[in-house]
Structure 1
Amino acid sequence: MQGEQRPPLVLVAPVGGRVVALTEVSDPVFAQQIAGPGVAVVPPAGTEPRSVLAPVAGRVVSLLPHAFAVESADGRTVLVHLGLGPRGAGNGTFSTHVDPGEVVDAGAHLVTWTPDAASAGGACPVVALQGDPALVALAVPTGSEVEAGEAVLRWT
């Protein structure tokens, strides 16, 4: 129906860590919100394997070892990028547990990521692809510590 407002889409943290404004990450494409608005989660330093979760329920439309996108049932797409540390994107080792086209629940385990010691994890952007910044809001204040699977954004 035209003019009908869609329900808010709650995006959950793909990894646990400290929530930072997307504008504070080192990569200018994310910091300038060229791909869309969002937030970043900075996981704690370490080289232990981390489960990376789906930020929303939907279909996996893109899957690289260090980045993936999930499209919700109503057509909104969320991008997750793992690591923007000093050694660049894709630092560490990755094991994917889903295939492109697969339908997943929010919080489903999609990737196992083991950051390398030099990267210390870096920031992990969570981006509402091509989203209107006026419709994307933080669910928790920046500086908050969140667990993987906790709400970090609301997209109306």
Structure 2
Amino acid sequence: MTTVTSPLSGASIGLAAVPDPVFSGAMVGPGTAVDPVREPSVAVAPVDGIVVSLHPHAFVVVDAEGHGVLTHLGIDTVQLNGEGFELLVNKGDTVRRGDFVVRWNPAEVEAAGKSPVCPVVALEATAEALSDVSESGDVSAGAPLFTWK
């Protein structure tokens, strides 16, 4: 069992509220989303594991149980071509929950016309595999978002 924690401080809003049909329809996988505070911040690792995919706008950490957790920093932020994002780790690095991964500013993303909402998704999982999914209320970076059985 894996507890997936919030990579950011903000408000959990649930995937259904994400302004992107791929995420809101859980096509990538089940999970939740965080509407981040609008200030410069650092996205942190939501689980202990290995960074298997790393882009300025998104990263995947796979834990010891083989669970891949995607953190996507904003919606359509790939179109920013890395502008405003600073990678703090490398693909293949081992990270601990709470380690800094990407520095960014959600307010700048919003000013660029993109949504700063951040889906946190359990890859290759079923909705039934998740429990205690946070879909409302304030969350701090490192607070539990969901449990993956």
Q: Give the TM-score taking structure 1 as reference length.
A: 0.85
Letter in 2 for 1:13: S
Post-superposition offset of 1:23:
1.5
Q: Does the 8 Å CA contact 2:4/2:146 hold for their aligned counterparts?
A: yes
1:153 aligns with 2:146: yes
Work out the percentage of aligned pairs sharing the same amino acid: 38
| Gaps in structure 2 of 5+ consecutive residues | none
Q: Report the structure number with the largest CA radius of gyration.
A: 1
Letter in 2 for 1:109: F
1:137 aligns with 2:121: no
Partner of 1:21: 14
Tell me, in whole angstroms, the C-alpha distance in 1 between the residues paired with 2:130 and 2:117.
19
| Gaps in structure 1 of 5+ consecutive residues | 1-7
Q: When the two structures are aligned, how many residues end up with a matched partner?
A: 143
Q: Does the 8 Å CA contact 2:5/2:142 hold for their aligned counterparts?
A: yes
Q: Give the TM-score taking structure 2 as reference length.
A: 0.89
Letter in 2 for 1:123: V
Partner of 1:30: 23
Post-superposition offset of 1:65:
0.3
Tell me, in whole angstroms, the C-alpha distance in 2 between the residues paired with 1:59 and 1:39.
21
Letter in 2 for 1:12: T
Tell me, in whole angstroms, the C-alpha distance in 2 between the residues paired with 1:148 and 1:80.
13
The CA RMSD measured in Å over matched residues stands at 1.6
Post-superposition offset of 1:121:
5.5
Letter in 2 for 1:128: A
Tell me, in whole angstroms, the C-alpha distance in 2 between the residues paired with 1:143 and 1:13.
13
Tell me, in whole angstroms, the C-alpha distance in 2 between the residues paired with 1:53 and 1:78.
12
Q: Does the 8 Å CA contact 2:19/2:115 hold for their aligned counterparts?
A: no
Q: Does the 8 Å CA contact 1:43/1:121 hold for their aligned counterparts?
A: no
Going from structure 1 to structure 2, the CA distance change for 1:155 and 1:67 (only over 3 Å counts) comes to same
1:55 equivalent among 33, 46, 53: 46
Return the structure number with greater helix share. Answer: 2
Matches within 5 A, 1:82-121: 82-84=73-75, 88-90=76-78, 93-115=84-106, 116=108, 117-118=110-111, 119=113
Matched residue of 1:93: which SS? coil
1:70 aligns with 2:61: yes
CA-to-partner distance for each residue in 1:100-142, whole Å, 9 max, x for gaps? 00110011111101231525862100000011110112354x2
Matched residue of 1:153: which SS? strand
Tell me, in whole angstroms, the C-alpha distance in 2 between the residues paired with 1:94 and 1:122.
12
Going from structure 1 to structure 2, the CA distance change for 1:150 and 1:120 (only over 3 Å counts) comes to farther
Post-superposition offset of 1:64:
0.1
Tell me, in whole angstroms, the C-alpha distance in 2 between the residues paired with 1:108 and 1:148.
11
Matched residue of 2:120: which SS? strand
